Structures are given as C-alpha cells and as structure tokens.
Amino acid sequence: MGAKLLTPDFGLVFWMTLGFLILFFLLSKFAWKPILSALKEREKSIEESLRQAEKARAEMSQLVAKNEELLNQAKEERNEILREAREAAEKIKADIVARAQKEAEEKLKQAMREIEIQKMAAIVEVKNTAGMMALDIAEKIIRKELKGHAEHVEYINQLAKEAKLN
C-alpha cells in the first residue's frame, strides 16, 4: 500500500488529463479571456483618465496664467488711463493759468498805456499852467520894470514865443 502512494495510477492520470484540459479550455474561453481583457481595459481607461486629468490640470494652470496676464494688462491700462487723465488735467490747469496770466499782463499793459497818456496830458497841462503862471509873473515883473523899453518888450515877446513852442 505504501508503494501505491508514489505510483501514478493510470485511470486517475487519464481522468485528470481529460478533466484538467476541459477545465483549462472552458476557463480560458469563458473566464480568463473576458476577465483579463476587462482588467486590461480598465487599466487602460484608468491610465487614460489620469492622462486627461493631467491635461486638464495643465490647461487649468495655463488658464490661470492667462487670467493673471489679463489682469496685469488691465491694471496697466488703468494706470495708463489715470496717467493720461492726470496729464490732461495738468495741461488744462496750465493753460488756464497761462491764459489768466496773459490777460492780466494785457490788462496791466493797457493800464500802463492809459497811465502814460494821462501822465502826458497832465504834463502838458502842468507846462501850460506853469507857462501861463510864469508869463503872468513875468508880465507883472516886466510891466513894473520895463515900462517904456521897447527893445525889452521885443525880447520878451521873442522869449514868450520860444516858451510857447515847448
């Protein structure tokens, strides 16, 4: 009986070969093939999903970068507009000031001219008055002293003539 333990039995080997081959073919066709292909499929789909997620992430980061860029651009534009506005305001201010200055100058000049004219008129009047007064005084003096001295009268007339010319 001990020897039987180590001796392959013909009938059992026969049934085992038959049974195992049938099992092998049935399992290969109906179990392993769909299972292994499904596992492979799943692995592939997981890989694909991962790749897509990676791609989406890259796109996302790209989008974020783009947004930032846009934001920066907008900021810059705003700054530009502000700067321009300030400049314009400055310019307007300067213009107004300049115009006011010019006007003031003009006014000043006109005033000066007026003053000059008035001054001239005043001077002329002062001269006339002073002349008349001097003439009066001289007339009085001369009448008192030179009564009868024809030549003096002549000279005085000549002088009066000269004084009038001024």
| C-alpha to C-alpha distances, 159 to 91, 102, 131, 137, 165, nearest whole angstrom | 66, 50, 11, 14, 10
Please work out the total of residues on this chain that contact another protein, with binding judged by CB under 8 A: 37
CB of 66 to another protein, least distance (A): 34
Binding of another protein at residue 35 (CB under 8 A)? yes
CB of 51 to another protein, least distance (A): 16
Are the C-beta atoms of residues 156 and 142 closer than 8 Å to each other? yes
Are the C-beta atoms of residues 134 and 163 closer than 8 Å to each other? yes
Residues 83-142 that bind another protein (CB under 8 A): none
Quick one: DSSP state of residue 148?
T
Single out the segment in contact with another protein by CB under 8 A; choices: 39-47, 95-103, 107-115, 156-164: 39-47
Start-end of H helices in the chain: 2-6, 10-27, 33-145, 150-165
Residues 6-25 that bind another protein (CB under 8 A): 6-17, 19-20, 22-24
The rounded distance, in Å, linking the Cα atoms of 90 and 92 is 5
CB of 31 to another protein, least distance (A): 4
What would the x/- binding string for another protein be over residues 42 to 81, using CB under 8 A? x--x------------------------------------
